[in-house]
Chain A
């Protein structure tokens, strides 16, 4: 399948002052949000498209000055969507600070179990509740149907399985982190508890059912591709380099590994690079029109060095998945339709479900490992000043980098979250969708939902990136060249400015 070339020409229009501006703006409760702006000429042809995400720059202030041992708990409060990923990435960075270059088998496996619980629950929520309404009913379908309630009515078993998969993942987190939220399970140098036999048995009770449902979800995403092959392959398609952690033997490893980057043709750019010096491989560019930075591979430069991270990148560039059912699905995914879904924006959904199956299988394997009941929980070594922790969070590569002074206080912190890595890739997807679906047409809610479908495929976490609460409802204003409002469409507004809406 032909793929769209990089569409940087749509980043900045030559004469924006002559164009109509359309802003697609999520409504956020506090500060920070993302929006899409389109500039259209008089014939409604798209001339410029930008996805703006207002990156929150308060991480450092929040963390700096704190004693390092508080950090794994504190960073969970940066984001209510993936607190476990921050908990573990911070712990890995602080392992280096306390000189724990290798944690004990019990600590390593308990953290992995926690991480796979997070992957399972996050991927289940994303597919069953955030994306399946669009995928099952169609991107431009009746809005009243296009929600989880519509799914529950038309596909009750799918909705039920989604809720129970999510719940199971959270139970794994509760047993490994010690609490349902704000857990303390992982600490610098290891963990502060093991998994009791009673906890293990409770989780074992349902794991085979979870594996079966996760496998069914992979088949559902495949079926959706089969039913809509041409559209799914082409929707928001663009070519991109890929980046992820990889195990030493080339296996997918979502918890630890070296950095692998491949170019848009699948050729290796670098492989098995120690992430302790990630800044030698990755840099960030600032663009005047966006608050969020644009990471790129230094070897290629900012113009062409951007990449995508997350499930699609990980499944596409690993050599194998180290659990049998997920690896079988990976092989079929890579081979299907000459590999086209593995380069499609909507391929994220299929890849995400393969990872969910892998997480369920990995949980099963770990639950049968006696090391989880070990009592050797923490190690320490020679104290260091600097620590870098990297993990493959549900949405992609997550970097935590700290410097700690002789008084044990954090004096510098740098976090690059998954959504930031995908900044340029999401912009590309939105530009392609704008060209494919909006160009030259009168805007409707259904058409604008295509933009949201493209962004949602990446599962961006606006809570991390902007510390808003992850909402993606849309407010669309159509303005003329002078900025006067001609029309507007609002949906998904929340009339309660509280964190539960």
Chain B
């Protein structure tokens, strides 16, 4: 039976400046074709994402942030009730809380908040955000490999040296 995958969700609007950080990180991860990793993108989180968390070893939500210490912050997130229910976009904590109500304890979850600064419609990624994205991608790749190593998966199952090298670029 294959091990449970790690789900990585990139959040943001690709056409709104640094809001594209989440989707762009997913796009770059897709190119690496990492095994054991599932990728999703959307404009925002909503309650049905709770369904996507089922049977996942870990969940990582990647998003642009205006207050993360550059280049990025990686923090665990727990199921908590908040008032994002009243909006068209839920917080990661609220999605985990919805999962907990439906299915019980959710998988371990983290937020990778990449520092951005400009969010204008029609603008591209800022120079600083591009640098932060590269740092976040390299760090995340290494973390994914470490996670799989600790779980006993063969490094070769993870793509061996080729992906390791590309992650460090």
Contacts and interface: CB of A to CB of B under 8 A. Distances in A.
Contact of A469 (B85, B88, B101): B88
A298 interface: no
A471 B15 contact: no
A223 B3 CA distance: 46
A125 B89 contact: no
Interface string A448-482: 00001000100001010001011111000000000
Nearest to B122: A62
Contacts of A164: 51
A249 to B, nearest CB: 35
A5 interface: no
Nearest to B93: A501
A499 B89 CA distance: 8
A181 to B, nearest CB: 5
B101 A58 contact: no
Contacts of A170: 48
A153 to B, nearest CB: 7
A500 B11 contact: yes
Given A152-B101, A498-B65, A130 B86 contact: yes
A160 interface: yes
27 contacts: A80-B13, A80-B88, A83-B43, A143-B83, A148-B98, A149-B98, A159-B101, A163-B47, A163-B102, A166-B46, A166-B47, A180-B42, A181-B42, A463-B88, A471-B84, A471-B86, A471-B87, A472-B86, A492-B86, A497-B65, A498-B11, A498-B65, A498-B113, A499-B19, A500-B45, A500-B89, A500-B91
Given A62-B121, A180-B40, A501 B89 contact: yes
Contacts, number: 154
Most A Cβ at <10 Å: residue of B13, B19, B42: B13
Interface residues of A, number: 54
Nearest to B52: A167
A101 interface: no
A153 B98 CA distance: 10
Contact of A497 (B51, B66, B92): B66
A78 interface: yes
Nearest to B40: A180
Contacts of A470: 44, 87-89
A410 B14 CA distance: 21
Nearest to A470: B88
A144 B81 CA distance: 9
A491 B83 CA distance: 8
Interface of A: 29-30, 56, 58, 61-62, 74, 77-78, 80-81, 83, 125, 129-130, 133, 143-144, 147-149, 152-153, 156, 159-160, 162-164, 166-167, 170, 180-182, 452, 456, 461, 463, 467, 469-473, 491-492, 494, 496-501
Contacts of B106: none
A113 to B, nearest CB: 19
B142 to A, nearest CB: 23
Contacts of A501: 84, 89-91
A498 B63 contact: yes
Nearest to B79: A149
Most A Cβ at <10 Å: residue of B12, B16, B43: B43
A492 B87 CA distance: 9
A143 B88 CA distance: 18
A171 to B, nearest CB: 10
Interface in B94-123: 94, 97-98, 101-102, 111, 113, 119-122
Contact of B50 (A77, A143, A153, A163): A163
Contacts of A143: 83
Nearest to B88: A470
Interface string B1-36: 000000000011111100100100000000000000
